[in-house]
Structure 1
C-alpha cells in the first residue's frame, strides 16, 4: 500500500474524534451564550484543550500507522504481526491467530493428501506396466498371441484404469449416486461373465447362491466394490479351487479358497496403500482396492468386513442395512 493511501485512511480515522471535539466545543459555547457567561470562558476552553487534542490525534496517527505497517510487513513475509495494544485489536489478533492455525492445518492436510495421491499414482503406474510388459513379451516371443492371454492382460489393464478413475471420483462421490432397488444376482452375474477368462485360466469354479432379494443401492458403485472383491479373490486363489458368492439374509459374502491373509495384516487391510505380506510377495499391488471399496461402502450406508485364515482362504462380507433389503 502506498504512503499516501496510508495517511488518507489514518486521517479519515481521526475525523470522528475531531468532529466530536468541535461539536462539544460549540455546545459549550452555546451554553455560555444561553446563561450569559462571558465568551472568554469558551475561548479559554479551546486554548487549553487544543494541544491535548493534537497530542492524542498525533499519538493515534503514529500508533495506527505503525500497526498498519506491521500488518503489511507481516502479510508480505507470511507471518503473524506483533500483538497490538488495546482489547479490541487484541481480540482481532487472537482471531487472526486461530485463522492462521486453521489455515496451516488445512495446508498440511492438503499436502498429505497430495503426497498420498502422488505415491498412489507411482504405485499404479508400476502395476499397470506389468500387463503391458507381459503383452510386449508375448508379442516378441510369439507370432500369434493366444486370445486367452491377450484377454487376461487387457482385463488387468482395464481393472487398474477403473480403480484409478474411481479413486479420483471419490472426492465428488455424493453427486454421482442414484439409489434403486436392484437384484443382487443381476449385479453379480455380469461380473462373473466379465472375469470368466480368469476363472478359466486358473481353473476356478464359481459357486453362486442367491435368494430372491433386492437391495436399495447405487448400481455402479456397488458393482465396482463387488468387482474389486471378486478380482482380489481370483488374484489370491489357488488354481483349481472354487470361489463362492453367497447371499445370507442381509449379507453378501465372497469367499475364496486361496492363500489367505496373515493375522497381523488383517486389521490393516482397509488402510490406503497397505499391501501386506501377500502384496509384497507378488510385488503387484497398490494396496488401494480395499481402501476405496471400504470408502464406497461407507458412503452407501453399509458395512464391510474381511475375515481370513492363512493358507485356507478369505471371506469378504458386505453387510446391508435391514431397511435396504426387500425380499421378493
Structure 2
C-alpha cells in the first residue's frame, strides 16, 4: 500500500501539470475527430498510449527521486553538518537550496548552544553531588560532638542542635535526590516491607523535627506488607513529615501526625494515609501542591516554604509506581494518601 500512497502524493503534488496534459490530449482528440474521422479510433488509441507513457515514466522517476531526497533529508536531520547539508542540497531543486542552507546554519547554531548547556548542566550536577558529599563531613562531626558531648549541654540546647542537624540533613537529601531523579539509571531495590513498622522507624529517625514542633504521632490500622524500595519510600515519608512540621496550626493545642493503613474497594491495593491537623490547604491550592516551586497561600506565612518537598514526593512516587492523592480543607489539616501497587 505504500507505493499507492506515493503515487497519490505525486499526482496530488503535480496535479496542475497532469490536468494540463489531460486537457491538451482532449483538445487534440477533438481535432483528430474533426480532421481524420476515418482513422479517429486509431489516433485516439495512440494518443492514450502516449499519454500514459509520458505520465507513468515521470511518476516513476519522481518517486525514485523522492526516496533519494528522503534518505538525504534523514541523514541531514540526524547529523546537520555541512557535508550532509550539501548532499541534501544536491538532491533538491536550486530554488530551495538557499532555504536549506539557512535552516542548516540555524540548526547548527542551536545545536552548539544545546551542547554548551548540556556540558554546563553536567558540571553543575557534578558540583552539587560533590558538595553534598563534602557537607556530610561536618554534619557527621556535629553528630559525633552531640553524641559524645551531649551530657555537657542542656537538654534544650541538645534538642535544638539535633533539630538543626536533622533539618540540614533533610535539605542535603533533597538536593541529592533531586539530582538522582533525572539520572538514566536508578538503583532501586524492590523488596517486601511492613509498612506500619517502616513508618514508625521513619518517625523515630526524624524525632527531633517532631519534638521541636511538639507533634504527637499515631499509628492506626493493620500491619500490611508492600513491595517497594526502602530508600525511596523513606525519602517520601521524610518529605511528608518535614512538610507537616513546617506548617503547624498556631491555634492547635497539640499538633498531631497520623499514619493509617487501609485497602481500596477491591481489597487488593494497600493505602497509607498520612494526616496532620495543621492549617490545611485551600480548595484552589490543593490541585497544585505537588507542582514544582508551588507554595500557595501558606508560603506567604513561612520562610521555610520552598515548594520542593511535595514535588520530590510526586517524582519519587512515580518512579516507585506509587499512586498519590491529597485531601484537605482549610483549617482542618492535610491528608496525603500513598496507594501501593498490588504485586502477586
Q: Tell me the TM-score normalised to structure 1 length.
A: 0.58
Whether the 8 Å CA contact 1:202–1:240 is kept in 2: the answer is no
C-alpha distance in 2 between matches for 1:263 and 1:163: 27
The Cα of 1:255 is off from its aligned counterpart by 0.3
Tell me the residue number matched to 2:148: none
Tell me the residue number matched to 2:183: 172
Number of corresponding residues: 225
C-alpha distance in 1 between matches for 2:218 and 2:108: 53
Tell me the residue number matched to 1:246: 260
> Is 1:287 matched with 2:307?
yes
> Is 1:107 matched with 2:114?
yes
Tell me the residue number matched to 1:87: 92
Distance 1:216 1:146, change over 3 A: same
- 1:126-145 to 2 correspondence within 5 Å? none
Secondary structure at 2:235 match in 1: helix
- 1:216-231 to 2 correspondence within 5 Å? 216-231=227-242
Whether the 8 Å CA contact 1:243–1:256 is kept in 2: the answer is yes
The Cα of 1:278 is off from its aligned counterpart by 1.3
C-alpha distance in 1 between matches for 2:242 and 2:180: 20
- 1:9-88 to 2 correspondence within 5 Å? 84=89, 86-87=91-92
Whether the 8 Å CA contact 1:268–1:274 is kept in 2: the answer is yes
Q: Please list the CA deviations of residues 211-253 of structure 1 after superposition, one character each: whole Å capped at 9, or x if unmatched.
A: 2321111110011001111221222133513211101112111
State which of 218, 233, 239 in structure 2 corresponds to 1:207: 218
Distance 1:192 1:107, change over 3 A: same
What's the RMSD between the two structures over aligned residues?
4.1
Whether the 8 Å CA contact 1:205–1:240 is kept in 2: the answer is yes
Tell me the residue number matched to 1:299: 319
Tell me the residue number matched to 1:162: 173
Tell me whether 165-174 or 212-221 shows the greater mean CA deviation. 165-174
C-alpha distance in 1 between matches for 2:295 and 2:188: 29
Distance 1:158 1:99, change over 3 A: farther
Secondary structure at 2:167 match in 1: helix
Distance 1:102 1:204, change over 3 A: farther
Q: Please list the CA deviations of residues 8-46 of structure 1 after superposition, one character each: whole Å capped at 9, or x if unmatched.
A: xxxxxxxxxxxxxxxxxxxxxxxxxxxxxxxxxxxxxxx
The Cα of 1:100 is off from its aligned counterpart by 6.4
Distance 1:86 1:225, change over 3 A: same
Unaligned runs of 5+ in 1: 1-73, 122-127, 136-142
C-alpha distance in 2 between matches for 1:94 and 1:84: 7
Tell me the residue number matched to 2:329: 309
Secondary structure at 2:293 match in 1: coil
Tell me the residue number matched to 1:319: 339
Unaligned runs of 5+ in 2: 1-79, 129-134, 143-152, 264-269
The Cα of 1:309 is off from its aligned counterpart by 0.8
Distance 1:107 1:148, change over 3 A: same
C-alpha distance in 2 between matches for 1:221 and 1:240: 30
